[in-house]
Structure formats: C-alpha cells, structure tokens
Chain A
Amino acid sequence: MTAAQFAALSPLVVLAIAAVAAMMLVPLARIEAAQAAAGAGLALAAGLVLLRVGAPAAPLGALFTDDGLARFGIAYACLASLGALIFLRTGVPAKEAPALLVLVALGAATLAGAGHAATLFLGIEIVSLSLIALFAFRLSRQGLEAAYKFLVMSGLASSALLLGVALIYAETGALDFVGWTGHGALAALGTALLLAGLAFKFSLAPFHMWTPDAFEASPASAAALAGVVSKAAVAIVLLRLFLTAHLPEPVWSSGLAALGAASVLVGNLLALRQPQLPRMLGYSTIAHSGYIALILASGAPRAAEAVLFYLGVYAPAMLGALCVSAALGRAPTLYDLHGLIKRRPLEAIALSLSLLSLAGLPAAGGFIGKLYLLHVLVDRGLWLLLAIVVAGASLGFFYYARFFTAPFLGQSHDEAEPLPRVDQGLLALCVILIVLFGVAPVVLIDVVRLALP
C-alpha cells in the first residue's frame, strides 16, 4: 500500500469510519452527536478528495480506478449528502438516519470509482439497501409501502444486472470494464440486461415506478439521496462504461436513446397536473434522467462534459426544492405554496429559482444545461430526439410554471415555524450556486474540464 494508494482510498475509509461512529453514537449520546459525526465524516472525505485534485492517478488494480471522474464523483456524493444531511428532520423515533445517509454516500463513492463488476455490484447494493432503510425511516404506513416496493423492484433489477454481467463475462472472460469488448449474441443480451439494471437505479422509464412513491412517502433528504446522490453515481458509471467499455454499439446507444426519450415524455406528462410538490419533483427527476440518458445516447465528443455539467447544475436545484419541501411539512401541495413570498421570502425565492433552473429558463443554471443537451443532439443530427426534448421541455415548462408562480400569487394560509439557521444557509448557498452557474457558467465548465481526461 504505497502512500498514493492510501491517499486515493482515504475518502472511502473516512466515510466508513464515520458511518460506524454515527451508528455507535446513537445509543450512547443524543441524535445531534450522530448527525455531527456524520457531517464531519462527509466534510473530511470531501476535503481529502479536493486536496488530490490534479494529482496523478494511483494504480489500484482493476477494482477501483482513481481518475478525475472518480474524484469528481466522490466529491459530488459527499457534498450532496452533506446538503441532504442538513435538512434531515431528526424528530423521529429511529435515530440511525445519519448513519444510513453516510452509507449511501459511501456506496455512491464506490460506484463513482468502480471499474470492475464486483465493485459496481457492491456499490449498487450498499446504496439500495441503505435507501430501503431510509425510505422506511418514518415507519409510517406509506413509508413502509415505498420501502417494500423499492426492495422488491431493486432486487429484480439487481438480479437482471447480475445476469447481464454474467453473460458479458461468459462472452468476454473479463469482469473489469476495460476488458468488456465483444460483439457476440451473449454480449448483446448481457448489455441489454446490464442496461436494464442500471436504468432502474437511474429511474428511467419503464423502470421508473418506484421514484414517485419514494419522493412522496419518504423524508425529503431520503428523496434527495435517491434523486441526486445515487442518480449521479449511476450516471458516472454509465459514463465510465461509455468511455472505457466497448459494449455492442447498437444496443447501448439506441437502447439508452429509447429509454431516455420514454422517460422524458413519461416524466413530463405524468407530472403535468400533480398537486403535490414532492411527487411532482419525483416525476421531474425521471424527466431529467431521461435528458442525461439522451446526452449519453448521442455519443457526441462533448457528451461527457455535458453529463457532468448537467449533474453539476441539477444538484443545487433539486436540493433547494427538496429542502423547501421539507420545510413546508409532510407533503406540501400547490395550495400550501400560495402567498409564500409574504411569509417566507427566502424559501419562496429558493423554490422559484430551483424550479426555474429545472425548467431550463435563462438566468438559472438549467438554461446552460439545456444548451449542452441541445448542442449534443444537434451535433449528431438527432432531429427526432431534439423534437422530443423540445416537446418534453415545453410540457415540463407548464408544471414548473404552476409551481414557481404559486408563491407569488394568492394569500398565504398558515403560520409554519421559521426554518433553522443552517437550513437557511443551505438555501442561500443553493440560490447563489444556481444564479452563479446561470450567469457565469465558465466556472463550472472549468471544474468539469478538470475532471475529464
């Protein structure tokens, strides 16, 4: 274990220790101590990764690759999980939430660096199991229902993924991504199943059924983890497969294109008249996964940069929206949002800006994200997909408009207690990030350029 190898793995080690510490602290001390330990662990891991930016890649064998993409993935997972930790409501009997949250971050970090089937499967299972526990975290009827459904469906998806990997393994004789080059029938079938398994985690249609229930029933931070952290990790795995593995081209690109197009249409259509904010956000994550899948499916030279940029812009918007949703109580509807600007100006502006960014309107990061998406599609001349994206964005524009205009209209109704200081800090950070990426996208583009080879 040379010093470089240890430094490369140190973020994962730190996360593991933090998870164990958070679990140990629960019976011994109050919940806040566990939350602090989790936060410290996440922050330390993120710090360690950021220190190694630009350092040469340490040779870690096939299981884990330590390149720029992995570092971007780990840093992204840690920071997003830290954000989710902030608006984690801890007033519930079960106190293991912070520990589970760190475990999800750990799983996402392993996925980010995964270069071998084993680490891929390990990472997916860690994320899935922790998410199941987090969905059932409130022990409410709906929470248990969402957790159970997620369990059954992720079990099926994982077995499909494994069968796919087994078939590719049978064809190519290799389990690490680099070795996966084969054009036989087995490889094609294996790729299809692999794609199905990953598409489930990525909540692409028709594997998207779990997302709306998870967003509605589970606490907002669990939804944030599922919607942002795990989605980003899977996106990075897809990107790595796209960059390194040479799986049969037709299955891979047109499969992803079909799934992406389906999820853009389904996600936007089903969110059209949703009265509830979290459920609407659930459907919009499906749509955004669709957009990212389309970027990957296009296979344009700048697709990788586009994916990372889109993820970078997507995180603050989704975290901001979910934090406001958490602040407004169990499952806020359009009715609760009326007149929010008068009672809670910061939440109203944060929610509106996040939804503006998700909708892709100018003056918000999402606009440049959509820019990349259009550029990639136009570059490869995929006119049909372009039409679908424009149609999806237009549909999407309707339901986002309903929600981001609600706070300014009508009279406010109830008096909810003010948001704790740290949550307001997070919202302010999200607002600043959204506007920064909207007005000066060069900042994020350079970060993304750094991460890519």
Chain B
Amino acid sequence: MTGSDLIGMMILAAGLFAIGVFGVLARRGIMFQLIALEVALSGPALGFVAAGAYHADPQGQGMFILVLTLAAAEVAVGLALFLRIRRTAGSDDSDIISGMKG
C-alpha cells in the first residue's frame, strides 16, 4: 500500500461522502434521504480501512465495523420515524414537514 494508493482511496472515500451529501440535498423523499445518508457514512468507512491498511494497523478495521453498526442503528431509528411521519403527515415528502420557520 503506497502513499499514492492511499491518496487514491481517500479521494474515493471523499467521493462517496460527497455523493451521499448531494443525495440528501437533491431528493425530497424521506426514504431516499435515508439511503443517501447510508452512502455518506460508507465513505469514511472505506477511508478507515484504507488508512488501516496503509499503516498496517488493525484499528482501522475496528473503526470500520464500529461505523457500520452505528450506521445501521441510525437507519433503524430513521425508518421508525419515517413510518410515524407518514402516518401523521400523510406524505413522505421531507419539504412538507417544515412547520417551524424563523
């Protein structure tokens, strides 16, 4: 794992993160925003694996697993909220639920 490979992997991780952020900004659907969040979280996960490999240090992979589990927990809460919002607000569009302004 040479320095330039590391830079390449890091750029890929940053790319994934950027795609995730763009996904949240572009689409109004709550389900789609949650999916975009997952993609965003996978970016740093890849980064940790690459950095761990570069430094030949198992901690990277440890962090990867930690990131995955907590991402799953977050999505679980997200889906629960998605169901509850669909029942009360009657739609899964995130722009509708913007009652509080100013």
Answer yes or no: A and B touching, Cβ < 8 Å.
yes
* Tally of B interface residues using CB under 8 Å: 45
Interface string of B50-65 (1 = CB under 8 A from A): 1110110101101100
Specify which of B13, B62, B81 lies most central, judged by the most chain A CB atoms within 10 Å of its CB: B81
- List residues of chain B with CB under 8 Å of any chain A CB: 6, 10, 13-14, 17, 20-21, 24, 30, 33, 37, 40-41, 43-45, 47-48, 50-52, 54-55, 57, 59-60, 62-63, 66-67, 70, 73-74, 77-78, 81, 84-85, 88-89, 94, 97-100
Complex: chain A residue closest to B3, CB-CB: A170
| A374–chain B nearest beta-carbon distance, Å | 32
Q: Verify if A388 is at the interface (C-beta below 8 Å from B).
A: no
Chain A contacts with B in 199-221, Cβ cutoff 8 A: 212-213, 216-217
Number of CB contacts from chain A to chain B under 8 A: 130
Complex: chain A residue closest to B6, CB-CB: A170
Question: Is B60 touching A169 in the complex (CB atoms < 8 A)?
Answer: yes
When distances are taken between beta carbons in the complex, the residues of chain B under 8 Å from A128 are: 74
Question: Is B84 touching A139 in the complex (CB atoms < 8 A)?
Answer: yes
Interface string of A146-162 (1 = CB under 8 A from B): 11100110011011101
Q: Known contacts A141-B88, A167-B47, A186-B10; is A118 also within 8 Å of B63 by CB?
A: yes
Complex: chain B residue closest to A125, CB-CB: B70
Question: Is B47 touching A170 in the complex (CB atoms < 8 A)?
Answer: yes
Q: Verify if A397 is at the interface (C-beta below 8 Å from B).
A: no
| B96–chain A nearest beta-carbon distance, Å | 9
Q: A139 vs B24: C-alpha distance in the bound complex, in angstroms? A: 24
Interchain CB contact (< 8 A) of B41 among A144, A155, A175, A216: A155
Question: Is A121 touching B67 in the complex (CB atoms < 8 A)?
Answer: yes
Q: Known contacts A121-B66, A121-B67; is A163 also within 8 Å of B47 by CB?
A: yes
Question: Is B77 touching A216 in the complex (CB atoms < 8 A)?
Answer: no
Q: Known contacts A129-B77, A159-B40, A163-B13; is A152 also within 8 Å of B100 by CB?
A: no
Question: Is A156 touching B51 in the complex (CB atoms < 8 A)?
Answer: no
Q: A122 vs B73: C-alpha distance in the bound complex, in angstroms? A: 12
Question: Is B17 touching A163 in the complex (CB atoms < 8 A)?
Answer: yes
Complex: chain A residue closest to B44, CB-CB: A162
Question: Is B88 touching A159 in the complex (CB atoms < 8 A)?
Answer: no
